[in-house]
Amino acid sequence: MFFDDEPHGVFFLIDNKSFYASCEAVSRGLNPLKVPLVVLSEAENTNGGLILATSPEAKHLFHLKANVSRKRDLPNDPRLWVVPPRMNLYIQRNLQINQIFHQFTTEKEFWPYSIDESILDMTRTWRLFGNSVREVARLIQKTVRQKLGLYTTVGIGDNPVQAKLALDLYAKHNHELIGEIHYETVPDKIWSITELTDVWGIGPRMAKRLNRLQIHNMYELAHTNPYLLKQQLGIIGSQLFATAWGIDRAQVTEPTKVKEASWVIRKYCHEIILTKSKLKPSLKKLGNRWRRGFGTTINWRGVYR
């Protein structure tokens, strides 16, 4: 293959498992993986109440889904904890987690992707903490767990997009909560994906557009003429083609310009004013996700240049 000229590094994409629900569980002295708990917002714009987060046990027992299930879907079961959102708590925990990450890499090589996901460029520092990359990932998990009581999942890759796919497709579904994708495993780990919507960046609408181009899985996407993809889908087509090959030329260390020093979130929690002095640059991407799940493609800074 033609990967020799592509950037090679060691990247971790770390997700705080069921973050809001886990923060609420730990604050009550409960195990976040074993207690059935949901975070329910009853703000005016939630149409009667929206579940913002569910613990793994709530998903397993009651088949509830964050940002999909409504208050009316909640079972009348005494085992289920139903709690209101506390955004300030989640922000505080996020900053504490980021401080832990800074123990393993420099601030320049650390990028918060959202309130519950972060990218760490470990290329220069991982050897200081273990004999293998996977051992270092386990050490970070253990440190967060011991200090904050939270569980983390880790995707490992040679670049950020590989780490993101490893996180979503593999780390979240095994007992170690660690997944890996590297250039040499792209055919096995990416091309084997048969459901397009399982892949970051491909929502239901984009999947339908790809289907119209006779693309139904990641192998077919990787082997479609990239010029045709760009012609039919624009720059998104080029990005998706690069994703199918596990290619990402983004530089985590490049500075990001923040247009606003403060902003207001009025989505599903009560209004919260976020200021630069409170959040520092670490939460500048907070408003991007809000875990809404509309199938909208999220453009990653600098990906696929």
Residues designated as active site: 117
Coil vs helix vs strand at 14 = strand
List CB contacts of 216: < 8 A, sequence separation 6 or more: 194, 196, 210
DSSP 70: B
Amino acid at 257: K
Among 245, 302, 241, residue whose Cα is nearest residue 5: 245
The alpha helices in the chain, defined as continuous H runs, are 19-27, 56-62, 87-101, 133-148, 160-169, 186-189, 204-212, 218-222, 226-233, 235-244, 276-279, 286-289
User: If we measure between CA atoms, which residue out of 197, 192, 182 comes closest to residue 218?
Assistant: 192
Is residue 104 helix, strand or coil?
coil
Which residues have a Cβ under 8 Å from the Cβ of 272 and sit 6 or more positions away?
87, 88, 264, 265
Q: In this structure, which amino acid lies at residue 81?
A: W
Q: Letter for the amino acid at 159? A: N
First to last CA, the chain: 20
Nearest to 87 by CA among 269, 282, 299: 269
From the list 13, 241, 190, the residue with the least C-alpha distance to 111 is 13
CB neighbour burial string for 79-106, b if at least 16 within 10 angstroms, e if fewer: ebbebebbbeebbebbeebbebbeebbe
